[in-house]
Chain A
Amino acid sequence: MAVYHPSEVELTEYSAGTLPWALSIAMAAHIHFCPQCKARVNELNALGAQLMDGSSASDNPSSQLAPDCLSKTLSRIRQAGADEQVQPSDSVPSKTSNSVFDGLPKAIKKIIGNPKELSWSFVSPSLRAARLSAGQKDYEVSLHRIKKGGSVAEHDHRGLEVVVVLDGSFSDENGTYKPGDYLVKNPGDCHRPTATMDRDCLCLSIVEAPVSLTGLLGKFVNPFLKINPA
């Protein structure tokens, strides 16, 4: 069960649909593992419903319905009934029998596509990363895989980073993170993640700006780090 949760503000924005797209993917990943936050979102959706219900068109002139709205909708429904066909329910490839990827939330599975075709790049001896295309331009969305027992170089953050553990676990100075745990890192938050010994750790990472390695290594490497939002 996840121990580290998103804030009320993030949950509210997710429920309202105003949380940035990439962060909403991270939230979907967390909720997949966290029944409590799922319940919170359902409560917030009920709030949204009530607000929607209570707002009359006169409050907002731009939301006035066209006079022929009802007839248009009805004819669209009739049309759909006429050429109704059973559509294939989903295009997510499901034939790969990779247990780690099978257990992932729907949105993540979809942007991964075929896990065998992920292009993992070498970041450090213990860390591999695979960039994902999420359909937005504000954050880099990627999968990170830390080798079991392996450590990632200590780093600071130059912008917001949200990490959701998808499989395995890792720890840093502040705690141990298991599947579903939702971590928010801001500039000034320094850490050195280390995967636990039992298995590789797979995380979803959403970053707004490149991380900043600390120490001498950082002096050489940091100017060359960049992100690739997609």
Chain B
Amino acid sequence: MYKVWTKAPSFDRSKAAASTWIYTIARNARIDFIRKNGSKDANTVELIAEDIWDEENDNQPYVYLNQARDKATVDQLLAELPPEQSECLKKIYMEGKSHVEVANELALPLGTVKSRIRLGVKKLQSWLTPAEGVC
């Protein structure tokens, strides 16, 4: 929460919902925390999560066109997602696992976990950007 406070001046409500913004700060802090505590070379460059997950430095209007998400939409989507799809997504987001680790834990083929994630994410996309064409 300290990081959220120090970064508060950079928050732009037109770009993202506050919860999403806080999520990205918390995620970056977790990544840096894990990396700091893991083994690493002494002579590594000082690359931090914020350099890679560079949310602030983006001013392409397209990106934020639909950015202020209706929280309820994602909430409702999560409620309607088949349990096996939301389970995979929860494990990735909340338990910090890769899809390979999720497959191992659930004793499922890799392809099954991949397709559950893909289906869940596609649904999210179709809900949030219904009118959009190709990507």
| Complex contact B2–A76 (CB within 8 A) | yes
User: How far apart are A171's CB and chain B's nearest CB, in angstroms?
Assistant: 22
Query: B46 contacts which chain A residues (CB < 8 A)?
Result: 91, 110
Q: Which of A5, A17, A37 contacts B28 (CB 8 A)?
A: A17
| Complex contact A134–B47 (CB within 8 A) | yes
Report B72-106 residues with CB < 8 Å from chain A CB. 74-75, 77-78, 89-90, 92-94, 96-99
What residue of chain A has the Cβ atom nearest to residue B29's Cβ? A17
B interface bracket (residues with beta carbon within 8 Å of A): 35 or more
Total number of residue pairs linking A and B with CB closer than 8 Å: 175
Tell me, in angstroms, the Cα distance from A7 to B5 when the chains sit together: 34
Query: A98 contacts which chain B residues (CB < 8 A)?
Result: none
Answer yes or no: B37 CB below 8 A from chain A CBs: no
Q: Interface 1/0s, chain A 4-40, versus B by CB < 8 A?
A: 0101110111111111110011011000100111111
Query: A110 contacts which chain B residues (CB < 8 A)?
Result: 45-47, 51
Q: Which of B1, B54, B77, B92 contacts A16 (CB 8 A)?
A: B92
Query: With A40-B125, A43-B124, A73-B1 in contact, do A51 and B94 touch (Cβ < 8 Å)?
Result: yes
What residue of chain B has the Cβ atom nearest to residue A135's Cβ? B44
Query: With A9-B99, A50-B78 in contact, do A40 and B135 touch (Cβ < 8 Å)?
Result: yes
- In the complex, identify which listed stretch (A52-60, A119-127, A187-195, A217-225) lies at the interface while the others stay far away: A52-60
Answer yes or no: A94 CB below 8 A from chain B CBs: no
| Complex contact B30–A17 (CB within 8 A) | yes
